[in-house]
Structure 1
Amino acid sequence: MTTREKSKIVSPRALFRSFAVAEMFTWAGLITALVFRAFDVANLVPIAGGIHGFVFLSYCATTIFVWVNQRWPLRLGLTGLLLAIVPFATVPFEIVADRKGLLTGDWRLAPGGEVPHGFIEHVQAWVG
């Protein structure tokens, strides 16, 4: 793969960061919609809830992909998933993971990369 082709691929770090931030913003939107509903301003909960649900599931899928790619230990991967349930916790988790170097590198199972082992790595290699 050439340098130009690699520059078009989103790194695990950039993908994880973007979904961690998006998850935080959709939490804020959902909480805001709930507050508005309590004051009978507008019922935006179905819209905010749907957007948050989509981003939440996308964050979880991204966390699993990065977890597999970066070979995180079980407790770290589960922590990343469980913190999505806590409002605004995905960004601090991403910051700590990045500072510890847990998000560095490219996709190791991309074409021309490592040979996948096990079902999850084969699925990730097929998607990537």
Structure 2
Amino acid sequence: MTDTPALGGSGKLFATVALVEALTWTGLLVGMYLKYVSGTTELGVWLFGRLHGLAFLAYVVVTVWVGARLRWPGWALLVALLAAVPPLLTWPVEIWFKRRGLLAPR
């Protein structure tokens, strides 16, 4: 088992928001399947589109704030921000950052 540093408050906030962003992406993808492939309902896109929009904005704001607070190098901030674009990438990036010690207080 890898020895990872303990998360501080900022790291926990980033980890939580990254997970929520990934989960809302998942809900939106399921909603898009239901709307465009099976044609059963538009409710998933209506609901998760709004939730994901909020989660995305929260992720960007929290990422910039945590990056500044924990003094991330420029590459880490860029990777974290770009991770919000493809579906479900924020969660693996959060796990990677945790293992590298980027979410631990300095």
Using structure 2 for the length normalisation, give the TM-score: 0.86
Q: Name the CA distance, whole Å, in 1 between partners of 2:9 and 2:73.
A: 20
**Structure 1 residue 41 displacement after superposition:** 0.8
Helix, strand or coil: the match of 1:66? Answer: helix
Q: Name the CA distance, whole Å, in 1 between partners of 2:17 and 2:105.
A: 18
Structure 1 residues without counterparts, runs of 5 or longer: 1-9, 107-128
CA deviation profile, 1:17-41 (whole Å, cap 9, x unmatched):
1001101100000000000002221
* Paired-residue identity, %: 35
Q: Do structure 1's residue 11 and structure 2's residue 31 form an aligned pair?
A: no
**Higher RCO by CA contacts (8 Å cutoff, separation 6 or greater):** 2
Which residue in 2 is equivalent to 1:69?
A: 69
Matches within 5 A, 1:1-128: 11-38=9-36, 39-44=38-43, 45-105=45-105
**Structure 1 residue 78 displacement after superposition:** 1.1
Q: Which amino acid aligns with 1:31?
A: L
**Structure 1 residue 46 displacement after superposition:** 2.0
> Aligned pair count?
97
Structure 2 residues without counterparts, runs of 5 or longer: 1-7
Using structure 1 for the length normalisation, give the TM-score: 0.72
> Which structure 1 residue ranges, 4+ long, deviate > 3 Å from structure 2?
none
Q: Which amino acid aligns with 1:22?
A: V
Helix, strand or coil: the match of 1:84? Answer: coil
Q: Name the CA distance, whole Å, in 2 between partners of 1:63 and 1:96.
A: 15
Helix, strand or coil: the match of 1:14? Answer: helix
Aligned Cα RMSD in Å? 1.3
Q: Name the CA distance, whole Å, in 2 between partners of 1:19 and 1:103.
A: 13
